[in-house]
Amino acid sequence: MSDPCAALVLDFGGVISRTLFETHAMTERALGLAPGTLTWRGPFDPGGDALWQAMLADEISERDYWLTRSRETGALLGEDWTRMEHFVRRARGDNPIEAIRPEARDAIRRAKAAGRKLAILSNELDLFYGADFRDRLPFLGDFDVIVDATYTNVLKPDRRAYGFVTDGLGLPAADCVFVDDQARNIAGAREAGMATVHFDVRDPADGYRRALQHLGI
């Protein structure tokens, strides 16, 4: 194996946070919906989610997928949810830390203790979660760089998005391992020169194990 990477670069939704597919029961309780109301399961049941298949085929964007699900869920409550922020805030309630993967918090702690740099590269962190969301997740203060396309308007897999991270970290791309659950974003990171881990949301422990291996931890 080559020399260990010096920085861990993480996507947020799906990698640090559990997906909304995994937290249907939490969402239904928070919204007062009957158990089993939300049936779309994305990667956990791709054959049963035609909209997810359209997203994977690049017929719609990931933002389009989630905006559609937001509108559908709001309609169940007789409300007009025009932004993903409406959905996430209501679904995750007042304690968003419950939706953070324990595997993520452990890997972040271990990487920081080993002297590795930390970065987040997200297409929609504040767009989906709200600008004050970060204040409710103190561990985000451990990150050296947070690049959010909510503000840059440059979405992964555009090569410039990865460049914002490497510029912010002051490291070459080859010194960074990037972790994301979307194949197109992984392909973009590889083209930018980063080491990569294609994260399977169905097995988060394995994803973080491989990421830490890239860091020599």
Tens of pLDDT along 24-82?
999 999 999 999 999 999 999 999 999 999 998 999 988 899 999 999 999 999 999 99
Backbone torsions φ then ψ of 215, nearest 5 degrees:
-90, 0
pLDDT of residue 113: 98
Per-residue pLDDT for 1 more than 90? no
Report residue 141 as tokens. 């203060």
pLDDT of residue 134: 83
Is the whole-model pTM more than 0.75? yes
In this structure, which amino acid lies at residue 199? F
Element (H, E) at 192: helix 183-192
198/163 Cα distance (integer angstroms): 19
Q: Which percentage of the chain shows pLDDT scores above 70?
A: 99
Report residue 159 as tokens. 């090569």
Report residue 208 as tokens. 């973080």
pLDDT of residue 93: 67
More confident residue, 95 or 80: 80
Long-range contacts of 152-157 (CB under 8 A, 24+ apart): 155/123, 156/11, 156/121, 156/123, 156/180, 156/182, 156/184, 156/185, 156/188, 156/189, 157/184, 157/185, 157/187, 157/188, 157/189, 157/191
Q: Does residue 60 contact residue 11 with C-beta atoms inside 8 Å?
A: no
Tracing tokens 């969402």 back to the chain, one arrives at 27
* Sign of the alpha-carbon torsion through 108, 112, 115, 120: positive
Tens of pLDDT along 108-141?
999 999 999 999 999 989 888 877 878 888 999 9
pLDDT of residue 186: 98
Per-residue pLDDT for 102 more than 60? yes
Question: Domains of the chain, with CATH numbers?
Answer: 7-17+100-214 (3.40.50.1000), 24-96 (no CATH)
Confidence of residue 153 (pLDDT cuts 50, 70, 90): very high
Confidence of residue 194 (pLDDT cuts 50, 70, 90): very high
More confident residue, 139 or 92: 139
CA within 13 Å, CB half, 188: 19
